[in-house]
């Protein structure tokens, strides 16, 4: 090897070694899982989370949902869902809020899968508190996820207070009535219009 080439190789060798070293360190970044373990998360689950390269910020999000009694499997899934969208997990407070309000984990996880948190979180919580069913909440969420017209939870609660049955509420939500139509139905119901007649007037949209 020529002297000039050899000296150049000797110059770049330490630099290359440093790049490889720091690159390897970034992949092996240590994240403290102890807060999650103290909250009751199993070692097997923390190992899965390490493999998903969770960050310290995501650990804080996971701690919120774990303290709200989300299962270990749920914790892993919410991280995987965030990864599938190429985003960090940032929904911890919203998931925790729904669970703390009494929504079942299965319902909350379906809302996560439908990507229905964020703008709608507070509305779904209020629907639950108004004693609207899980089926009704998910009917509304699925229409929104599909980009279809959907009535608001507040309008449905008002119809429930007007004596509309659970089955009719679900059917009206499935048919995609608007809030304006819900107001009209409320008025019709107060005039004594039957549920069967109301349903005939509002076909599937």
pLDDT digits 0-9 by tens, 152-196: 999 999 999 999 999 999 999 999 999 999 999 999 999 999 999
Q: Looking at residue 37, what DSSP letter applies?
A: H
Please state, rounded to an integer, the average pLDDT across all residues of the chain.
88
Torsion sign across C-alpha atoms 75, 79, 80, 81? positive
What's the pLDDT score for residue 31? 87
First to last CA, the chain: 78
DSSP 3-state assignment of 165?
Answer: coil
DSSP readout, 64-81?
Answer: HHHHTT--HHHHHHHHHH
Q: At residue 1, does pLDDT exceed 80?
A: no
> Which is more confidently placed, 17 or 93?
93
- Whole-angstrom distance, CA of residue 127 vs CA of residue 156: 8
Q: Determine the average pLDDT of the residues in 82-104.
A: 96
- Whole-angstrom distance, CA of residue 84 vs CA of residue 200: 42
What's the pLDDT score for residue 73? 98
- Whole-angstrom distance, CA of residue 84 vs CA of residue 67: 24
Work out the pLDDT band at 24, boundaries 50, 70, 90: very low
What's the pLDDT score for residue 22? 34
Q: In whole angstroms, what separates CA 127 from the centre of its chain?
A: 16
């Amino acid at each position: 090897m020529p002297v000039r080439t050899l000296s150049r190789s000797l110059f770049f060798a330490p630099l290359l070694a440093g790049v490889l070293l720091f690159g390897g360190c970034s992949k092996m970044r240590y994240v403290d899982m102890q807060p999650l373990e103290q909250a009751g998360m199993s070692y097997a689950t923390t190992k899965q989370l390490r493999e998903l390269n969770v960050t310290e910020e995501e650990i804080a999000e996971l701690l919120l949902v774990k303290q709200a009694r989300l299962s270990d499997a749920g914790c892993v899934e919410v991280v995987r869902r965030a990864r599938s969208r190429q985003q960090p997990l940032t929904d911890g407070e919203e998931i925790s809020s729904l669970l703390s309000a009494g929504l079942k984990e299965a319902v909350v996880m379906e809302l996560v899968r439908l990507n229905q948190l964020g703008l709608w979180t507070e509305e779904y919580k209020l629907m639950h508190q108004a004693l609207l069913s899980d089926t009704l909440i998910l009917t509304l969420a699925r229409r929104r996820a599909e980009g279809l017209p959907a009535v608001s939870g507040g309008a449905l609660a008002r119809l429930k207070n007007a004596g509309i049955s659970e089955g009719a509420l679900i059917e009206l939500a499935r048919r995609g009535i608007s809030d304006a139509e819900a107001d009209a139905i409320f008025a019709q119901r107060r005039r004594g219009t039957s549920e069967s007649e109301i349903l005939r007037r509002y076909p599937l949209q």
